[in-house]
Amino acid sequence: MSTESPRQPPFYCPACGKKHRADLSALQGQASAVAKVTCARCETVMALRMGADGLPKCEANEPLGGPMSQPDVKKPGLLLPLAAAAILAAVVSFGVASAIKPAATTPQADPRLATLEEQVRKLAVALDEAAAREQALRRDYQDAVAGVAQRTVSAEKTVASLGQTVTGLESQTAQISKSFLTIQKEHADHGGRIEANRVTGRQLDKRLRALEGK
C-alpha cells in the first residue's frame, strides 16, 4: 500500500498570478492557521490559509521591501505582464475552484488549467517583447532628435560663417567704390589741368604770332 501523500493543489500570487505549490498539510483542518509564503516572481509576501472548501486561499500581505512598498513595476518588461497577469489571476483562481473536487475526494488536475497557464505565459512573453520594441523605438527617437539638434547647430554655424563672409565682401565693395570715386575725381582734375594748359598754349601762340607780324 502506497504511503505517498496526494498532490497538493496549487495557489496563485494575487499580485502577479505566479503559480505555486507547497506542502499544505500543516494547514489542513485548522481554519485559523495562516502561513506566509514569498512569491518567486514579484517577491510579494502572501498570507496562505485553507478555506472551508479545502482549497488554499491566498492574500497579499506585504512585499519584502516593507509594508507600504510595491513590486518594482518600473523595470522593463514587468509592468505590462503584472497588469495582464493580475487580470487573469481571478480567472485562473475561478478555474481552480471549479476544477478541483472538495477535500473529501482526491483532487484531479483539470486540462483547462494547463491551457490557461500556457495562455498566461504566452501573454507575458508577448508583453515583454512589446516592451522591448517600445524601448528600441524610444532609443531611435532620441537618437533622431539628437541628430536633428546636431545638424541644426552645424547649419547655424555655417550661416554665421556665410554672414561674416558677406560682411567682408560688402566692406571690400565699399572700399573699391570709394577708390573708384577718388580715381574719377583725380582724373577730372587732371583733365582740367590739361585743358587749362591747352588754353594757355593757344594764348601764347597768338602772342608769338602777333610779335612776329610786327
What is the average pLDDT across 175-196? 81
Residue 99 to residue 108: CA distance in whole angstroms: 8
pLDDT given for residue 141 in this prediction:
92
pLDDT given for residue 103 in this prediction:
43
For the cut 70, the answer to whether the pLDDT of residue 106 exceeds it is no
Residue 62 to residue 42: CA distance in whole angstroms: 11
Q: How many residues does the chain have?
A: 214
71, 39 Cβ separation under 8 angstroms: no
CB contact set of 188 (below 8 Å; sequence gap of 6+)? none
Q: What distances in angstroms separate CA 188 from CA 57, 95, 176, 193, one per listed residue? A: 115, 113, 18, 9
Whole-number average pLDDT of the chain: 76
For the cut 70, the answer to whether the pLDDT of residue 163 exceeds it is yes
pLDDT given for residue 102 in this prediction:
45
- Of residues 109 and 56, the one with the higher pLDDT is 56
pLDDT given for residue 70 in this prediction:
43
Q: What is the pLDDT of residues 67-105, one digit of tens each?
A: 433 444 444 444 455 555 555 554 545 454 444 444 444
Q: How confident is the model at residue 184 (pLDDT cuts 50, 70, 90)?
A: confident
Percent of the chain residues past pLDDT 70, beyond the cut: 74
pLDDT given for residue 136 in this prediction:
92
Q: What is the pLDDT of residues 24-60, one digit of tens each?
A: 887 877 777 888 889 989 888 989 888 888 888 888 8
pLDDT given for residue 84 in this prediction:
54
Highest-scoring range by mean pLDDT, 64-78, 112-126, 189-203: 112-126
What is the average pLDDT across 135-144? 91
In three-state secondary structure terms, 57 is strand
Cα angle 207, 212, 214; round to 5: 100
For the cut 80, the answer to whether the pLDDT of residue 116 exceeds it is yes
Picking from 28, 18, 150, 34, the residue whose alpha carbon sits closest to that of residue 84 is 18
pLDDT given for residue 137 in this prediction:
92
Q: Classify burial at 193, counting beta carbons within 10 Å of its beta carbon; exposed 0-12, middle 13-18, buried 19 or more.
A: exposed
pLDDT given for residue 58 in this prediction:
84
For the cut 70, the answer to whether the pLDDT of residue 212 exceeds it is yes
